[in-house]
Amino acid sequence: AQKITQTQPGMFVQEKEAVTLDCTYDTSDPSYGLFWYKQPSSGEMIFLIYQGSYDQQNATEGRYSLNFQKARKSANLVISASQLGDSAMYFCAMRDSNYQLIWGAGTKLIIKP
């Protein structure tokens, strides 16, 4: 069965430090997509970064990068130079063959000043 696992329910990080949010996935499909979304307390889902299963290079979007290790089935999100505004819930998701998103449980990130 297809599944996304986020093992960190919550994380505290000092401002300006880098942070890695873990995500592992399970699928037998050769073609899939992996997403990271940020959800602040307002509830909106903010797209951060995408990695396709056939992409050769790790995706980067500004301060966000995705550490894609296909053999280990992991897609960790790295946020460099964390800011107070990065405090939010972070969700890892995988697009399945029906184009539905399978969601992880999420990680609550709190940035300390």
**Residue 99 touching another protein (CB under 8 A):** yes
Read off φ and ψ for residue 11, nearest 5 degrees.
-145, 140
- Measured distance CA(15)–CA(26) in Å, rounded: 32
Sole window of 17-25, 71-79, 80-88, 91-99 interacting with another protein (rule: CB under 8 A): 91-99
- Cβ 99 to another protein, closest distance in Å? 6
In this structure, what token pair is assigned to residue 43?
């509830």
**Residue 12 touching another protein (CB under 8 A):** no
Contact flags string 45-84 toward another protein, x per CB under 8 A: x-x--x-x--------------------------------
What radius of gyration do the chain's Cα atoms show? Answer: 13
Residue written as token pair 């994380």: 11
